[in-house]
Amino acid sequence: MITITLRGNPCRVEGIFPSVGAKAPAFVLTNGQLADVTLADFAGKRKVLNIVPSLDTPTCATSTRKFNEYAAKLANTVVLVISADLPFAAGRFCATEGLNNVTHLSTFRHPEFMSAWGVKIADGPLAGLTARAVVVLDENDIVRHTQMVPEIADEPDYEAALKALA
């Protein structure tokens, strides 16, 4: 079990966070059209999973905006923003912000993703949401970069994630 912090207060994170070099665990999540999508739906593409607690927080919104900007310049790459936010709310956020280069996927019907990917906040005020993490996968779903952000209020290391795509 990993421990992270929220404004300095410890929170436990359950599950097994993927390691670099490992095959990514399969997943099923819900897209903006309320359809289930799987990791296999993005086969042959490089994937950046920007996993966030909620788009309705400043840091999550910032990371989504930044990854949207970077995604416009990345060939054969999809940026998947994963949170427990309902697809309706995420759709409004992305439309309002003009974010066309990221795909939001929700855990709301598939909470098993959180434990399978080792990002389930187990206690504290955000219990039941995802921790802030970034996972980069190559075209064959091999993990090339991971970061579990130690302080939920902090942004991820964008440069390290992008370097893994080089």
Residues that are catalytic: 60
The sheet carrying 120-121 orders its strands as 2-6, 9-14, 120-121
**Which segments within 7-101 are labelled E, that is strand?**
9-14, 28-30, 36-38, 46-51, 77-83
In angstroms, rounded to a whole number, what is the distance separating the alpha carbons of residues 108 and 104?
12
| 44: three-class secondary structure by DSSP | coil
Task: Let me know: does 30 contact 59? Beta carbons within 8 Å.
Answer: no
In DSSP notation, 107-165 reads: -TT-THHHHHTT-EE-SSTTTTSBPPEEEEE-TT-BEEEEEE-SBTTSPP-HHHHHHHH
